[in-house]
Amino acid sequence: MDTSRRDFLKAGATAGAVAAAGLAPWVAEAAELTGKTVKLLSPEGELIEVDEAYLKPVPDSLPGLYDGGDARKGIEGRKFVMVIDLSRCKNLKKCQSTCSKMHDLAEAKKWVKVYQMQENENTAPYWQPTTCMHCDEPPCVKVCPVDATFKRQDGIVLIDNERCIGCRFCMAACPYSTRVFNWSDADLGQGMKMEGMHSPETGLPAQRGTVEKCDFCPDMVKQGELPHCVSACPNGVFYFGDQNEDTVTNGDETVRFSQLIKDKGGYRLMEELGTKPRVYYLPPVNRLFPFESGLENTTNE
């Protein structure tokens, strides 16, 4: 009787901690504690431990959903890469607005962010579009406890939101701060009808209590089209292509990837971390327009 009472009190205390931490949307009611715990981040950023019995079950296959094998495998023989030319960015944010529209993102969530950058007070400021880096050594994949975020053979890093438990370890592990948390239910405001179907290749419909990020638009790439941010930019800032073919394009011009990086001094962010990003930057030199022309579009939140 004493043991049963202790288990009951322990279960009540754990459930109270879960509710108090605001984790209720993505945890289940536990019938019996397992004694095994998993660490989660609360909305306040505090590290807490929750019994595995409180986590929603994650089946290997879900009827009516995408073919997990195909989505996780990627396109054979491809190695996708992006190049962002900082000398061309005018902070128009067409990349951002189009990405948000096509992925039905709320105003508070943006997969593409445009930052105002300046090395020091003596250097010229510039705009830096920032997406997921789709690293070849992604720390987000290594810390995910349920294999919800994964790296494909074609270089793309995706999130299976049906598996994601919302622990947010991937957000803490990402040095580029490109992931966002979805606090709300899906609202297909663009008239999209998904009929309950979810695919990590589209990110739709959004799953409350899970993590989201830039996905390189694999659904478009499958059709031989460019990611939405690339095709939406009127200044040709974004190049996208296949590193195996050594070719990238911004829609208007197609160039050799290796030659572009070599001739224009391409680099990757935080190279010293060893994450090996698949997004390269060209330095903001020889800009054709004044920096001030984009100041009216500086809000990322």
Contact 51, 33 (CB under 8 A): yes
Report how far residue 188's alpha carbon sits from residue 195's, in angstroms, rounded to the nearest whole number: 11
Which has more confidence, 268 or 43? 268
Is the model's pLDDT at 274 over the cut of 50?
Answer: yes
What pLDDT, on the 0 to 100 scale, is given for residue 34? Answer: 80
- Provide mean pLDDT across the span 221-240: 96
Pairing of the two strands 279-282 and 80-85: parallel
Average per-residue pLDDT in the chain?
82
What pLDDT, on the 0 to 100 scale, is given for residue 142? Answer: 94
For the chain, how far is it from start to end, CA to CA, in angstroms? 54
pLDDT tens digits, one per residue of 182-222 = 987 655 444 444 445 567 887 777 788 999 999 999 999 99
What pLDDT, on the 0 to 100 scale, is given for residue 141? Answer: 95
Burial class (CB in 10 A: 0-12, 13-18, 19+), 135: buried
How many CB atoms neighbour CB 144 within 10 A?
22
Which has more confidence, 271 or 44? 271
Report how far residue 118's alpha carbon sits from residue 123's, in angstroms, rounded to the nearest whole number: 7
What pLDDT, on the 0 to 100 scale, is given for residue 237? Answer: 97
Report how far residue 152's alpha carbon sits from residue 248's, in angstroms, rounded to the nearest whole number: 20
What pLDDT, on the 0 to 100 scale, is given for residue 206? Answer: 79
- Provide mean pLDDT across the span 274-297: 88
What pLDDT, on the 0 to 100 scale, is given for residue 22? Answer: 47
pLDDT tens digits, one per residue of 105-130 = 888 889 999 999 998 999 899 999 99
Report how far residue 63's alpha carbon sits from residue 40's, in angstroms, rounded to the nearest whole number: 28
Please tell me whether residue 82 adopts helix, strand or coil conformation.
strand
- Provide mean pLDDT across the span 72-85: 95
pLDDT tens digits, one per residue of 128-183 = 999 999 999 999 999 999 999 999 999 999 999 889 999 999 999 999 999 999 98
Is the model's pLDDT at 56 over the cut of 60?
Answer: no
The two structure tokens encoding residue 32: 């019996």
Contact 253, 238 (CB under 8 A): no
Contact 69, 152 (CB under 8 A): no
Please name each of the domains of the chain with its CATH number.
Answer: 2-54 (no CATH), 68-297 (3.30.70.20)
Angle at 266 between CA 260 and CA 268, to 5 degrees: 135
Q: What is the pTM of this model?
A: 0.76
What pLDDT, on the 0 to 100 scale, is given for residue 127? Answer: 96
What pLDDT, on the 0 to 100 scale, is given for residue 201? Answer: 81
